[in-house]
Structure 1
Amino acid sequence: MHEMIQEYIQYTALAIEVAGVLVMIFGPVFALWRYFFDKHEDGSSYRTFRHDLGKAILLGLEFLVAGDIIATVSTDPTMDNVLVLGIIVLIRTFLSLSLQVELEGRWPWQKRTIGEK
């Protein structure tokens, strides 16, 4: 019974990781679609494209981190696996923070200014 549950958890982790990869594949396609076919009066097409692309990458990274955490905890949580997971999470967290700063122009913990979207 325990092996069957562990197998389902592994499939769940794999499905979450696949969802992350699909988000990173279809997100840029959606961003390109909006760039070429949505008309922006104020010339903000590039900014919208860049923002959509960044959001797709961020969302895909979140899925991948979640899948890695589930896979590591459910399979064989040895100290080596946990250390590798920690390094992966640190790298992806750094990437997520730097992407968010690049997209929004402020740190996540900074307050928004009045009139900011």
Structure 2
Amino acid sequence: MPDLLPEETLEEVVNLLVRLVEAMGAIVIFAGAATAFVRFVVAALRGNGDGFVTVRLFLGRFLALGLEFQLAGDVLRTAVSPSFAQIGQLAAIATIRTALNFFLSREIERERSMVGGG
């Protein structure tokens, strides 16, 4: 049975997709950080003490989403004929990013309950 795509072509396509997904993650994180900075400055100028927590929650959601995009890029990277070393590296990266995302989500939820009053 002939290959649908030669492996070299498939690797090039996947590498392009990885770069696109990772760029999307970086854009999400940058957009969140830039917007959060503006919100922080506005809150600071207004003397809004609760604004800091709100800004952290806002930024945290963008960071969590950006980490998901970065993890998706890592998964894509190992989609085409991965070696055991790449699988091990993916497992380590996935574990670290999942832990970061877990603790970030927990912090967001804790601060959300503080802001929401319960």
**Shorter chain as normaliser: what TM range?**
0.7 to 0.9
Classify 1:105/1:7 alpha carbon distance in 2 versus 1 (closer, same or farther; 3 Å): same
**Structure 1 vs Structure 2 CA RMSD:** 2.6
Q: Determine the C-alpha separation between the residues in 2 that align with 1:16 and 1:81.
A: 18
Determine if the alignment matches structure 1 residue 101 to structure 2 residue 106: yes
Which region of structure 1 is more displaced relative to structure 2, 65-74 or 23-32?
Answer: 23-32
Q: How much has 1:4 moved relative to structure 2?
A: 2.0
Q: Percent identity?
A: 31
Q: Determine the C-alpha separation between the residues in 1 that align with 2:57 and 2:31.
A: 15
* Secondary structure in structure 2 of the residue aligned to 1:105: helix
Q: 1:9 aligns with which of 14, 19, 23?
A: 14
Determine if the alignment matches structure 1 residue 92 to structure 2 residue 97: yes
| Cα offsets for 1:57-92 (capped at 9, x unmatched) | 111100000000001112x41111101100100000
Structure 2: segments with no counterpart, 5+ residues: none
Q: Determine the C-alpha separation between the residues in 2 that align with 1:94 and 1:49.
A: 22
Letter in 2 for 1:58: A
After TM superposition, the runs of 4+ consecutive aligned structure 1 residues lying more than 4 A away are none
**Structure-2 residue corresponding to 1:109:** none
Q: Where is the helix percentage greater, Structure 1 or Structure 2?
A: 2
Determine if the alignment matches structure 1 residue 48 to structure 2 residue 33: no
Provide TM-score, normalisation by structure 1: 0.78
**Structure-2 residue corresponding to 1:34:** 39
Larger radius of gyration: 2
Q: How much has 1:24 moved relative to structure 2?
A: 1.7
Letter in 1 for 2:84: M
The answer (yes or no) to whether the contact 1:28–1:52 under 8 Å persists in 2 is: no
**Structure-1 residue corresponding to 2:74:** 68
Which region of structure 1 is more displaced relative to structure 2, 90-99 or 14-23?
Answer: 14-23
